[in-house]
Amino acid sequence: MDRKSATSTMASNDPNPLDPPGTPQPGDLIEIFRPAYQHWALYLGDGYIINLTPVDESQAAAISSVKSVFSRKAVVRMQLLKEVVGDDSYRVNNKYDDDRTPLPVDDIIQRSQDLIGQEVSYDLLGSNCEHFVTLLRYGEGVSEQATRAIGAISLVTAAASAFSVLGLINTRSRNRPF
Tens of pLDDT, residues 81-97:
999 999 999 999 999 99
- 121 forms beta bridges with 73
pLDDT at 110: 98
**Which CA distances in Å does 83 have to 13, 42, 52, 54, 157?**
23, 14, 14, 16, 39
- The beta-strand segments (E) located in 71-172 are 73-80, 89-92, 119-121
pLDDT at 34 exceeding the cut of 80 = yes
Among candidate residues 129, 133, 136, 142, the one labeled active-site is 129
- Residue 165: band (very low, low, confident or very high) from pLDDT cuts 50, 70, 90: low
pLDDT at 33 exceeding the cut of 50 = yes
pLDDT at 122 exceeding the cut of 50 = yes
Active site residue 129: yes
Range name among 27-31, 128-132, 171-175 with the lowest pLDDT average = 171-175
Q: How many CA atoms lie within 13 A of 81 on its CB side?
A: 26
Nearest Cα neighbor of 68 from 128, 146, 133 is: 128
What distance in Å separates the CA atoms of residue 126 and residue 11, rounded to the nearest whole number? 22
pLDDT at 175 exceeding the cut of 80 = no
Q: Who's near 173: CB < 8 A, 6+ residues apart?
A: none
Among candidate residues 32, 39, 51, 142, the one labeled active-site is 39
